Amino acid sequence: AQRVTQPEKLLSVFKGAPVELKCNYSYSGSPELFWYVQYSRQRLQLLLRHISRESIKGFTADLNKGETSFHLKKPFAQEEDSAMYYCALSGSNFGNEKLTFGTGTRLTIIP
C-alpha cells in the first residue's frame, strides 16, 4: 500500500525565517513525489516534482530514499507563501499513476 504522511496540520513561520514542511512516504517500488500548493480560493497547482529537481518560488525538495522523505524547504519565507501544501506520491507502474495525497499542511507566514 502507498501512503503519504504530513505530520504537521498547521505551521506558522515569521516572514524571512526558513520554512520546512515535512513529508514521509511509504511505497514498495520507485515512486514519483510531488508537492502541490493550494492558495486561498484557487485550484491545486503543482509546485515541485522530484524528477525535475527545479526550484520554484524559492522552494526546493530533495528525495531521501533512505529516510523515505521528501521535505519541502525555503530559506526565507514570504507572506505570499501562505497556503495549503500537499505532498503526493505517484506509482511508477501501469495503472498506478494516481496521486496519493498527504493530509496537507496549512502554512501561515506571520508578517
Partner 1 sequence: DSGVTQTPKHLITATGQRVTLRCSPRSGDLSVYWYQQSLDQGLQFLIHYYNGEERAKGNILERFSAQQFPDLHSELNLSSLELGDSALYFCASSATSHNEQFFGPGTRLTVL
Using rule CB under 8 A, residue 59 touches partner 1: no
29 contacts partner 1 (rule: CB under 8 A): no
Question: Do residues 50 and 70 lie in contact, with contact meaning Cβ atoms separated by under 8 Å?
Answer: yes
Question: In this structure, what C-alpha cell is assigned to residue 60?
Answer: 526546493
Q: Are 105 and 8 within 8 A, CB to CB?
A: yes
Among 22, 24, 49, 60, binds partner 1 (CB under 8 A): 49
Name residue, grid cell 514570504.
78
CB of 4 to partner 1, least distance (A): 10
Single residue of 24, 60, 69, 96 touching partner 1 by CB under 8 A: 96
Say how many C-beta atoms besides its own lie within 10 A of residue 67's C-beta: 10
* Residue 31 binds to partner 1 (criterion: CB under 8 A): no
Residue 22 and residue 61 in contact, taking contact as beta carbons nearer than 8 Å: no
- For position 100 contacting partner 1 by CB under 8 A, the verdict is yes
Using the rule CB under 8 A, is 103 a contact of partner 1? yes
96: three-class secondary structure by DSSP: coil
CB of 14 to partner 1, least distance (A): 28
Near partner 1 by CB under 8 A: residue from 44, 56, 69, 106: 44
